[in-house]
Amino acid sequence: MTDYLIKGASVLGGEPRDVLLREGLIADGSSSGAEVVDADGLVMLPGLVDLHTHLREPGREDAETVETGTRAAAMGGFTAVHAMANTEPVADTAGVVEQVWRLGTEAGYCDVQPVGAVTVGLAGERLAELGAMADSAARVRVFSDDGKCVSDPVLMRRALEYVKAFDGVVAQHAQEPRLTEDAQMNEGELSGRLGLRGWPAVAEESIIARDCLLAAHVGSRLHVCHVSTAGSVEIVRWAKSKGWPVTAEVCPHHLLLTDELAASYDPIFKVNPPLRSATDVEALRAGLADGTIDVVATDHAPHPHEDKDCEWQAAAFGMLGLETALSIVQTTMVDAGLLDWAGVAERMSTTPARIGRLAGQGRPLEVGEPANVVLYDPSVSRVVDASELASLSRNTPYAGMELPGRVVATFLRGRPTVLDGKLC
Ligand SMILES: NC(=O)N[C@@H](CC(=O)O)C(=O)O
Ligand SMILES: [Zn+2]
Ligand SMILES: [Zn+2]
């Protein structure tokens, strides 16, 4: 195994220093024989960990596979992703989660940690085999019906009670179904004008409030997926002030884009939860900065062109995220003076690894720790070209946009998955 001497990296944005990667670990001592990587001007962060990725395999290999999705992850600086359970078949048994986990290991671009479904077939009727998935080789700790809400409060309560036994967490897609029937975009003055059915903030906020109360009642961990409204931030802030076991994520697109983009009727901007108002964007940034929102998660949601290149109403919800996440966080948070690089490392690596109970990921950049690192150049910029993405799908909302920053290298346990900005 090749050793790497990373020269002059700004570790977490600090003073430049050399970092030796040897035998899969961050090491000290002699660097003789090591390959030198010039990291002048580059920021070193712990390998990013995504709590919310759709890899689409099994079942929708026309949109993404474990291999293509993890290539995209590596290009984005990720060394671990949580693969959502809304596959076909649904990841609701030990057999399916073990299959996804094995595919991830075989591909070798990053750790793939399967998420288990909360209910059988995501149907919201009875609990899936949570214990069997937890005990499987995939060691599932995060459970989610993402794409659908666990809207039945009795089932949600029982899921929270069940996962407590193995320190699991229920990750909720907070969407009250009756309030969002046929919803197409954020509910507001614009949805009325465009003639698209609205998705009101209260449909998200009412479920989050209910689930925070349930998590407190049961004493079990709740994670709130893709928080998108100012009111949701307020509710999570309130739950945390009570000391309740609640964490939350925000997606890069909700930190940058607003519902105004729906006026184009271009379904590239159609996503669940929808793009919201500028006021919501501001509250999400402030919530991420002050720690109310714990993590950035991509909700990378690949779709083939036939599901996106159609009229708005018929198009699928979702957008790509892995290969642009760090750039969006740089432009919305770091360049805006809201977060430093140590704060980015916490929100995109340390904390998501802790919430997912992933061992060996999100560790401090210290001697003896696994060499999961990303080298990032914040000083360059690029125009996003969808055709150049490693993902199998092309549904990025940033095509043609100039974004700051570029992932120069990603190391997974000391082995480069990306070097010189190219996949290894
Ligand atoms: N976010 C989306 O718009 N779509 C996701 C489902 C989800 O995250 O709810 C998908 O699976 O395509
Ligand atoms: Zn969701
Ligand atoms: Zn999702």
Asked if the structure places residue 198 within a domain, the reply is yes
Asked if the structure places residue 394 within a domain, the reply is no
CATH code of the domain in which 324 resides = 3.20.20.140
Q: Phi and psi for 123 in degrees, rounded to 5?
A: -85, -10
The pLDDT of residue 29: 87
Asked if the structure places residue 403 within a domain, the reply is no
Mutate to test the pocket of ligand 1, among 226, 299, 312, 395 (most ligand atoms within 8 A of CB): 299
Site residues for ligand 1, CB cut-off 6 Å: 54, 86, 146-147, 173, 271-272, 299, 301, 317-318
Asked if the structure places residue 278 within a domain, the reply is yes
DSSP three-state, residue 48 = strand
Q: Among the atoms of ligand 1, which is closest to the Cα of residue 52?
A: 8
Name the residue with the closest Cα to ligand 1, atom 2: 318
Query: Is the distance from CB of 65 to CB of 54 less than 8 angstroms?
Result: no
Asked if the structure places residue 260 within a domain, the reply is yes
Distance CA 294, CA 276 (A): 20
Q: What is the dihedral of CA 249, 253, 256, 257, to 10 degrees?
A: -130
Contacts of 43 (CB under 8 A, 6+ apart): 9, 10, 12, 13, 341, 375, 376, 377, 378
Asked if the structure places residue 2 within a domain, the reply is no
DSSP characters over 311-323: -GGGSPP-B--TT
b/e map of 260-275 (b: 16 or more CB within 10 Å)? ebbeeeebbbbbbbbb
In what side-by-side order are the strands of the sheet with 142-143?
142-143, 169-172, 221-224, 246-250, 295-296
Distance CA 64, CA 418 (A): 19
| Residues within 5 A (CB) of ion ligand 2 | 146, 173
Asked if the structure places residue 224 within a domain, the reply is yes
Query: Is the distance from CB of 325 to CB of 403 less than 8 angstroms?
Result: no
The pLDDT of residue 182: 97
| Residues within 5 A (CB) of ion ligand 3 | 146, 299
From the CA of 378, how far away is ligand 1's center (Å)? 29
What is the residue range of 342's domain? 47-362
The complex scores an ipTM of: 0.99
The pLDDT of residue 163: 98
pTM of the model: 0.98
Residue type, 333: M
Number of domains in the chain: 1
Candidates 92, 211, 299, 307; catalytic one: 299
Mutate to test the pocket of ligand 1, among 50, 51, 54 (most ligand atoms within 8 A of CB): 54
The pLDDT of residue 422: 98
The pLDDT of residue 285: 99
From the CA of 225, how far away is ligand 2's center (Å)? 6
Tell me if residue 167 is catalytic. no
Q: Phi and psi for 336 in degrees, rounded to 5?
A: -80, 0
Distance CA 12, CA 10 (A): 6
What is each CA distance from 31 to 3, 16, 38, 161, 249, in whole angstroms?
8, 17, 14, 50, 39
Contacts of 309 (CB under 8 A, 6+ apart): 267
Asked if the structure places residue 53 within a domain, the reply is yes
The pLDDT of residue 332: 99
Say if residue 385 is exposed, middle or buried (CB neighbours under 10 Å; 0-12, 13-18, 19+): exposed
Q: Among the atoms of ligand 1, which is closest to the Cα of residue 316?
A: 12
Query: Which residues does the chain have with pLDDT short of 70?
Result: none
